Chain A
């Protein structure tokens, strides 16, 4: 069974569009994250949700908004996509005590 799953795996879209990436975890974890991997392979944290409360927001443009309908889901919505948004986005989850984080397989977003 997949612990952290995100869809779609690949997403190609035009500038100006609005898109969403879904993430679900079946581990019963309390904290979920979204990371952006840039062209140099750095993972940069974007958001962290703990019991539906945003606890970290690392200077991400407000075009990006996380939506958590329940503890098992943290979806990433992106409005007015720009070329610079092209990257791989990773979802992750961990227990609230900050133990090991489990990562999804990544979503490669390409904005054309």
Chain B
């Protein structure tokens, strides 16, 4: 069975400081992993994806994530937070065998203080 655990429901950082959003997954197969962001009243926007290529994945808006198989983690980071980064972030795992099955984490709300 596949599952995704986002370890923090809320993360609060000051503008200009690093961001770390944690995600652990479990999967019986080689997973594809994604991070999505959702701003209020907007749909999901893909930040980045991992599909068994480079383990360090760079996404949009300065975000990146590192796939660590030994730790079954796919944490999202950004060196310097911006006010516009305040949103909810979802870690998602897709199992290739099923193709149409996406498992979403519970989400992490990121707050950025000025």
Chain A residues proximal to chain B, CB less than 8 Å = 31, 33, 35, 37, 40-43, 45, 48, 50, 55-56, 58, 88, 90, 92, 94, 96-101, 103, 105-108
Q: Contact between A42 and B49 (Cβ–Cβ < 8 Å)?
A: yes
Which residues of chain B have C-beta atoms less than 8 A from A42's C-beta? 46, 49
Per the 8 Å Cβ criterion, residues 18-42 of B in contact with A are 32, 34, 36, 38-42
Give the size range of B's interface with the partner: 20 to 34
Query: Does B64 interact with chain A (Cβ within 8 Å)?
Result: no
Query: Does B11 interact with chain A (Cβ within 8 Å)?
Result: no
Task: Give the interface SS of chain A, mostly helix, strand, loop or mixed.
Answer: strand
Q: Contact between B104 and A37 (Cβ–Cβ < 8 Å)?
A: no
Residue of A nearest to B33 (CB): A41
How far is B38's CA from A94's CA once the two chains are assembled, in angstroms? 11
Per the 8 Å Cβ criterion, residues 59-114 of B in contact with A are 88, 90, 94, 99-102, 104, 106-107
Q: Contact between B107 and A41 (Cβ–Cβ < 8 Å)?
A: no
Which residues of chain B have C-beta atoms less than 8 A from A55's C-beta? 41
How far is B41's CA from A50's CA once the two chains are assembled, in angstroms? 9
Residue of A nearest to B39 (CB): A98
Given A100-B107, A108-B100, residue A41 in contact with residue B43 (CB < 8 A): no
Given A98-B38, A100-B106, A101-B38, residue A33 in contact with residue B100 (CB < 8 A): no
Residue of B nearest to A109 (CB): B100
Q: Contact between A97 and B102 (Cβ–Cβ < 8 Å)?
A: no
Given A33-B43, A41-B49, A100-B107, residue A106 in contact with residue B101 (CB < 8 A): yes
